[in-house]
Amino acid sequence: MQSMLRLLLLCLFPCGTGFSQIFTLVDSIQLPTAQIWGVCSDDGDSLCITTVFIPTAKPHIYMRKVNYANIVQQSTPKQLTFDPDFTSITNLTDHKSIIHNNEIYVTFSTQGDQDLFIFKTDINGNRIGNIVTVVSGSADPTNDMILVTDGTYIYVLHFDPPNQHHVYTFDSNLNAVSAPFSTTTNGHNNIGNALFLSGNFHMFTGSTFGFNSNLLYTTWSSNWAPLSTQNVLSSVSGDGNWFSNGEVYDSANQRWYIGMNHIYNSQNIGQEHIDLLAFDNAFNLLERIHVTPIIYNRPHMVLKNGFLYLAYDRPGVAVYLHKYQVQNSSGLGELPGTTPGPELYPNPSTGRVYLEWKNFSAPLTVSIEDLRGVTVKETVVVPGSEIQLNTGELESGIYFMRLKPDQGEVITKKLLLIR
């Protein structure tokens, strides 16, 4: 039996081009033997994820391989650090990892955030050589470091307040190849990630830490000279956009995908949540998904074969992995084995907008969120119903409509409201 939901909206809607959903969640799991951090890299035929777990009295870094097609299928977590490593080193805290030339590089800070170390393993997690000291007794905090490669060298960066980084350069054997130096100011708060693309480093960070923080896009030359700074997402009513560890460029569709922390000005530091953003090359915001409730952190991402893999953690509790299908430039096709999804038309609109779903057969919660993830309208719809929502008090702009069945995945449709 085919039922139809028609959602009639009277809208105050700015002009724009048509658009559709970019991210569709297809799977989500909690990773075992993982309590904090979830740093992911592409291993070619599998996803490589490093996490921190506390098996006894000391925290240690573990690595596992995750099947791209079925993320439930994982290798047994491989322990990368051990108690003897910390007889003369304070227990580790934060870490980052990357894959370079089929080897895994891991950098970590220690309690007190004064020391920073790096080591490497083979692609299966077997240690190669010793743990190397990046810096010891630093007067500037070494946590929330950045680890990136330009294809030749390995770069480790950490905070040089207020708006700079300390930069350390290593060859593939972890030999220092130049003296450490600091970048010159390119306004940002340093908590983020870096990607080397087309001869330059690209970073997304907050303009500050916490409230009133804009999301900034900065570019740097191959020798870390500042090139440009652009505000790509402004704070609204004092909220904060920062901690953007997730950073991926989709060259096929010429889009940036960013995973970041977001906090409302009415909350406390530590209550932030994770948002997933899509920008075009001109940094027009194409989609924004409110991924988690409060108290989730550190998103990291890999784009592979049309799917985006997003890892994040609830501090000290668990690490999670989401798998999203990414819409290509010609539109989002139906997933294998699924029934046709909802259609929203006309969109953009200056008047009535209808939502049609031929396989809608159970009560459905319909909510509308603004770009900050705030729910501005919500109602429950039953099969065959037609409802009218009063949106007269809403500002013109982009909104997200969430379709939430009692069971199954939440579906998101984008609304362009034009006055």
DSSP letters, 142-201, are -SS-EEEE-SS-EEEEEEETTTEEEEEEE-TT--B-S--EEPPP-SS-S-SEEEEETTEE
pLDDT at 331 over 80: no
Q: How many residues does the chain have?
A: 419
CA-based nearest residue to 145, from 131, 134, 130 = 134
Identify the CA nearest to 135 among candidates 119, 150, 114, 111.
114
> With 90 as the cut, is the pLDDT of residue 404 above it?
no
Please, where in the chain does CATH 2.60.40.3080 lie?
A: 6-18+340-417
Phi, psi of 385 (to 5 degrees): -85, 160
pLDDT at residue 162, rounded to an integer: 84
- Please report where in the chains the tokens 């953007």 appear, as a residue: 244
Cα(72)–Cα(415) distance, integer angstroms: 34
For all residues of the chain together, what is the average pLDDT?
85
Q: What value does the mean pLDDT take over residues 85-104?
A: 96
How far is residue 379's CA from residue 407's CA, in Å, rounded to a whole number? 17
DSSP annotation of 21: -
Residue with tokens 């220092």: 176
Give me the percent of the chain exceeding a pLDDT of 90: 67
**pLDDT top residue among 251 and 358:** 251
According to the model, what pLDDT value does residue 390 have?
64
- Residue written as token pair 């724009």: 16
Torsion of CA 122, 126, 128, 129, to 10 degrees: 160
**Res. 18: pLDDT tops 60:** no
Cβ-based burial of 6 (10 A; exposed 0-12, middle 13-18, buried ≥19): middle
SS3 8: strand
Instruction: Read off the pLDDT of each residue in 229-257 and give the average, rounded to a whole number.
Output: 94
pLDDT category of residue 169 using cuts at 50, 70 and 90:
very high
Q: Report DSSP state, residue 348.
A: S
- Sign for the CA dihedral angle at 157, 160, 165, 169 comes to negative
Tokens 């993982």 sit on residue: 34
Q: Which CATH number fits domain 6-18+340-417: 3.40.50.970, 3.40.309.10, 2.60.40.3080, 3.20.20.10?
A: 2.60.40.3080
pLDDT at 182: 95
pTM above 0.85, yes or no: no
Select the highest-mean-pLDDT range: 15-24, 109-118, 340-349. Answer: 109-118
> Residue 357's pLDDT is what?
65
The CATH 2.120.10.10 portion of the chain extends over 23-326
> Lowest mean pLDDT: which of 157-166, 285-294, 342-351?
342-351
Structure tokens given for 381: 């719809």
22 to 277, 286, 290, 411: CA distances (angstroms): 10, 8, 14, 11
The three-class DSSP label of residue 84 is helix
Fold of the 23-326 domain: Neuraminidase (2.120.10)
Nearest residue to 354 via CA among 378, 380, 327, 389: 389
Say if CB 320 and CB 31 are below 8 A apart: yes
